[in-house]
Structure 1
Amino acid sequence: MTTIQIPASIGYPERPDGEPASAETLASTLLQGSASIAEFADEADRLSTPTPLWQGEASAAYAAHAQKFAKAHEPMGETLKRVARGVDVFAEQLRELQSEHTTIVGQVTAYDRDRAALMADVAESTETDVPVLQERARRLASQRTGIVDDITGLQERTTDNEDYLVRLFTGADTVAEAQSAAGGIGALALAAISGKPPVTAGPSAMSKWWNGLTETEQNAVIAACPETIGSADGLPASARDRANRTLLESDLAELHQKQADGTLTADETQRLKNAEATQKALKYADGYTVPGTEDQPGGQLWLYDPDAFAGDGRVAISVGDLDTADDVSVSVPGIKTQMDGAPNGVKDAAHLYESARYNGDGSSVATMFWLGYDTPAGDLLEWGEVPSEARAADGGERLATAVDGLRASRADNPAHMTAIGHSYGSTATSYAATNHDLAVDDVALIGSPGTGPAGHASDFSVGADHVYDGRNSRDLVAALGEQGWLRKGQLFGLGLGVDPSSEDFGAHRFEAESTERASHVRNFDDHVRYYDRDSESLYNLGLIVGGNGENVITAEQSYDPWWSGPIDPEADRTPTANEPGRSDTGRGPG
């Protein structure tokens, strides 16, 4: 009888040693210690300033002594902070390794079961059974090769992670190292970061540099330089997320310590407010469960910069995995949105995620709230910052750069990408699509006061056929845009360009009325209803994000006849409420 080669058994791999929770506790303790040292250095620096009440040699000697203490302790605090961040990165990596170990153990168990079944069948087989048994043996051998490779990779990564922790501590275990500018960074991270291209080289160069690092080098750089990695366009969202979470945890630990001690400055108070808002928003994204399912897509902190724009801050948080999702959307908010608005922005992103999934074709989704520009603080109908398009122009350039970064990080696995601009954010999005070749597949504008430099949808980089607009007829802000032969809006002179809902602009207008809209009067409440659950607007936005824009429920464009003011045909239509994936009127896909 023909011999059947049964592959050998596989030994179970050792579980990576250590407790991630204990390491995280140590990281928190070290962060608190770094905060105390930083406070001490700040106080010493304050005391080094002479006062009118105490002059002379003694005062000068005391000031010099205090200044010496400040200069010595400030780098020590930074070193301890870097070590704490490194321990946190180690803990996260250890948790991933232990999870991978559990998966491999399950694979080995299944392999042993299949191998035992094959051996039993071979023992009772006849010559006619040989071809089938040989094929089973070949598949089993291939399975064994994959599992052994996984075990080898697990063992190598475990060793690298442990070596990294040793180097982290030995790189800051002397006074000289603790007081140096590079204390706690380590030779591994220094060597890796030295090869980083300048920002001016572009996202593609940044992506190439990152992909050329080993996993251990990447971990070292994230721990040592999270400020650099967290905002580096072109890097994977997962890397930026880890770096920004490290920064967020560090900020919260340090600022809460100072708050408890009563030493927070005004700037630090604002930074803490921004950090706490980010924490709340991220917690919502991490814990969000798609209604009616057990699916938790998770969140990613793609951008965290609490000091930007004089304390207004920059932040971007996604629902879903930006590195792997088939369909990715970037939602750009408008007036008055600052970092403390992140929780509401992320809830809107979650609603959009639901709609794209329910109304989609089964593809994976990631929806990001992106506050990466300096929004105006005033109202559209107030004298202040808003009537100017300067911030929209700057925001458009920043948005285009951010999208280029997302594209570069996914060069080998491109996603269908949609930019959604709301309110003043629609004007910023228009600048990005008109002046900076915004690299998305579709653009949707909602509640827009005007399209800035674009006179027609064909001016957008995506082409007119991929430009969509949603406008609630009672939305006061959306009534500001210009249209018609006199280029006038319903409220003269306050718009920021052409009304994208108008026939002049030529976009695909979709239904966006709310069942809760005001009876007749235009108002601000209807300006913030575009992401409401079960709304016409959200239903259509979900179709666009999912790459199914051709299925939106279209609305007649507004127009401006010569004998009248601008007319919105949607004003007299009774709004509908859309169930997830199905319209009450039966017009949506069921």
Structure 2
Amino acid sequence: MSVTIEVPASQPATLPEPPGDAAQCDTLAETLYTAAARCEEFGEEATQLRNLTGYWWGVAYDAYVVASGKAATEHAAMAGTVRRVGRAVTSYADTLRDLTSTHDTLVERKAGLDERRTTLIADINATTEATPEVVAALRERATDLRTDYATLVADHDTLQRRVRENEDLLRQAFQAADTLAEGLSADGGVPDAARDAMHQPGAPGTGAAPAQVRDWWEHLTDAEREAVIAAYPSLIGSADGLPADARDQANRVLLDDDLARLGAKEADGTISADERKVLANADATRKAVEKADGFVDPTTGEKPGGTLWLYDPAAFDGDGRVAVGVGDLDTADDVSVQVPGIKSEMDDVGGYTDEAIRLYESARYNGDGSSVATLFWLGYNTPEGAVDLDTITTGRAEDGGQRLADAVEGLRASRSGDPAHLTVIGHSYGSTTTSYAAVDHGLAADDVVLIGSPGAGPADTAADFSVGADHVYDGRNSRDAVAFFGDEGWYHNPGGLGVDPSSEDFGAHRFEAESVDRGSIRNFDDHSRYYDHESESLYNLGKIVDGHGDQVNGAAQSYDPWWRWAVDPEKDRDPTTNVPGRSDTRADDVP
């Protein structure tokens, strides 16, 4: 008796690569950004040359003023349109890279399925004893293979649809700017798909809450998402509630625009002082993102990936707003947000990205195997001097606290899966900012850590925090001069930044944070050592981020004996690097 086993044909017949060259598209986008810069330069020059009073007058001069004003306005409008088309090309190139990567994955999958098919046919032909069990096993393999081929075909169809949509979206952007009227309009180069999507309920810029923004995003098609990223990157890149990947794509479009356009103006010698600050911020951000992108997880050998979560280089008179992440903020089990303090500006983003990387390493080395994402967040206007009115008062911390709470709410809302264990770490004046977020604005964190704190703002005790006293931690280097600004016992700092969170009166969990290189309290060196490699502080921070704050190396709290200044028991303890979690050693390798 013969037995028939139907082996599926290899599918799909071909897997054509998405057409186009992303690198060449990048070159075109850069050319467009440069052209936009030329339009801006002409408009700015025309504006400057409008007023020639004292040198020229009469009817001809009046006509000149009108004509130059029109030229300035039209060139500014055209610059905006050319930039929007350039951003569409940048977005197209980024999507093309993703589609090409997907294609390569499909090719690998098909090769694997074809190999399974060849092996199955060989096994069928080699079968000499077709028992019911053997036949059933071969048929099951054929059924599984047929199912996997069908899935591959469906995924390939989806890829082809996305390729067509990407092509069509770029075509729409070009067609929306191919007449003079469109070129001079306020939305020249914006496809109808993008414009229509932004008029749907919950769209960014409408005052929608983060959860509503997320619902809006989830109801968009892939094509609509790509359209709004290209057409409205400023809105998408800063919209709380959107997935980190969407914000990252939008902010990288903005970054490419700034680097090319302002770089061209710098080369032409027409860049203004404000634009020069924006360009410096953009360049610092580019380097920081490259650093985050290139980071390799030391426990897996894989790159967790970088995220440009916030990019606003002109904010706060050029000090800027920026947030750079390491790891997947939308899926990681453990997520941290690091809030900096005094004198932090956007051009410092590289150093702070280093700290986010070190924290990631510490949480992974000493963790329980859970996935991690760390985010450096500079989303508020920090005090600009070591000691000035803003430094010793709470105004910027109060404003920053609201902004921080909103950002964390956005991180929470952007996740479609299980909620993360989320830790917020405030350093220096950032600890006061974090305290305002946790006391006045219901900061949606699981744990809060204050390090190098000059005071806990509005909190009298750790119990005032939204996370509860048992989830408030403090790290204080006994030689950190900034930590002496906090109130303790009878002493109250006239600056009014609040209670010292390392004190027994406050009631937080204090952990060891001394540095083996600690110096004199007369300088501020130890204030910047909390994220140092091989440090007590970094080890304990990693434990908290990983969700194991109960395993930190605790430190005795400072106290006020009332008859003299406050006492810090840590000042006489010898610091050590012999702690688990040094960045170059696995925890189980440490004696």
TM-score (structure 1 length as normaliser):
0.95
CA-CA distance at 1:72 after TM superposition? 1.9
| Matched residue, 1:39 | 41
Alignment partner of 1:228 is 2:235? yes
Residue 55 of structure 1 corresponds to 57
2:582 & 2:283 partners in 1: Cα distance?
37
Match of 1:512 in 2: 513
CA separation in 2, counterparts of 1:467 and 1:544? Answer: 10
Q: Match for 1:132: what amino acid?
A: A
Equivalent residue for 2:210?
Answer: 203
**Counterpart code for 1:509:** R
Q: Which residue in the other structure is 1:581 paired with? A: 581
Residue number among 65, 75, 86 corresponding to 1:73 in the alignment? 75
2: CA distance, partners of 1:30 / 1:341: 29
Q: How far 1:402 moved relative to its partner?
A: 0.3
Q: SS of the counterpart of 1:264?
A: coil
Deviations, residues 495-548 of structure 1 (Å, cap 9, x unaligned)? 511111111111111110000001x53531000000001100001101111111
**Structure 1: how far apart are the matches of 2:440 and 2:148?**
52
Match of 1:173 in 2: 178
1:494 is displaced (CA, Å) by 4.3
* SS of residue in 2 equivalent to 1:59: helix
* Aligned ranges 1:57-206 → 2 under 5 Å: 57-125=59-127, 126-127=130-131, 128-195=133-200, 196=203, 198-206=205-213
Residue 248 of structure 2 contacts residue 307 of structure 2 at CA under 8 Å; is this kept in 1? Answer: yes
Task: For 2:135 and 2:41, locate their aligned partners in 1 and report how far apart those are by CA, in whole Å.
Answer: 76
Question: Which of these residues, 373, 376, 383, is aligned with residue 376 of structure 1?
Answer: 383
Deviation of 1:435 (Å): 0.8
**Quick check: 555-564 or 498-507, which moved more?**
555-564
Q: Which amino acid is the alignment partner of residue 501 of structure 1? A: S
TM-fit CA distance, 1:333: 0.2
User: Given that residues 477 and 526 in structure 2 are in contact (C-alpha distance below 8 angstroms), is that contact kept between their aligned partners in structure 1?
Assistant: yes
Query: In structure 2, how many angstroms separate the alpha carbons of the residues matched to 1:421 and 1:354?
Result: 19
Q: SS where residue 450 of structure 2 aligns? A: strand
CA distance in 2, matches of 1:51, 1:249: 40
Structure 1 residues 521, 182: closer, same or farther in 2, change over 3 A?
closer
Superposed displacement of residue 198, structure 1:
4.3
Letter of the 1:539 counterpart = Y
Residue 587 to residue 365, structure 1, CA distance change in 2 (3 Å): closer
CA distance in 1, matches of 2:589, 2:576: 11
Partner of 1:276: 283
1:538 to 2:545 alignment: no
| Corresponding residue number in structure 2 for 1:550 | 550
Residue 197 (structure 1) shift: 5.3
C-alpha spacing 1:68/1:563, structure 2 compared with 1 (3 Å): closer
CA change 1:499–1:589 in 2 (3 A) is farther
Partners in 2 of 1:322 and 1:133 — Cα distance?
43
Name the CA distance, whole Å, in 1 between partners of 2:511 and 2:206. Answer: 39
Cα distance in 1 for partners of 2:102, 2:528 equals 44
2:437 is matched with: 432
Q: In the aligned structure 2, how far is the partner of 1:568 from the partner of 1:317? A: 35
Any conservation in 1 of the 2:312–2:320 contact (CA below 8 Å)?
yes
In structure 1, the residue matched to 2:478 is 473
Match of 2:24 in 1: 22
Report deviation, 1:576.
Answer: 0.8
Counterpart of 1:338, as a letter, is E
> Hey, which bits of structure 1, 4+ residues long, moved more than 6 A?
586-590
With over 3 angstroms needed to count, the CA separation of the structure-2 counterparts of 1:175 and 1:238, relative to structure 1, is same
Over aligned residues, Cα RMSD in angstroms?
A: 1.9
Partner of 2:248 in structure 1? 241
**Cα distance, 1:559 vs structure 2:** 1.0
Is residue 312 of structure 2 the alignment partner of residue 305 of structure 1?
Answer: yes
**1:472–1:495: structure 2 CA closer, same or farther, 3 Å change rule?**
farther
User: Would you say how many aligned residue pairs link Structure 1 and Structure 2?
Assistant: 582
Matches of 1:198 and 1:109 in 2, distance apart? 46
Name which of 253, 258, 262 aligns with 1:255. 262
The structure-2 alpha-carbon separation of the partners of 1:298 and 1:580, relative to structure 1 and needing over 3 Å to count, comes to farther
Q: Offset of 1:383 from its aligned partner? A: 4.1
Which ranges in structure 1 are unaligned for 5 or more consecutive residues?
none
Alpha carbons of structure 1 residues 383 and 224: separation in structure 2 relative to 1, 3 Å: closer
Output aligned runs, 1:433-452, within 5 Å.
433-452=438-457
The answer to whether the 8 A contact 1:223-1:243 is kept is yes
**In the superposition, relative to structure 1, how do residues 154 and 249 fare at CA in structure 2: closer, same or farther (>3 Å)?**
same
Q: Which residue of 1 aligns with 2:499?
A: 498
The one-letter code matched in structure 1 to 2:15 is: P
Q: Which runs of 5+ in 2 are unaligned?
A: none
Q: Secondary structure at the match of 1:200?
A: coil
SS in 2 for 1:303: strand
Secondary structure of 2:336's counterpart equals: strand
Deviation at 1:199, TM superposition (A): 4.6
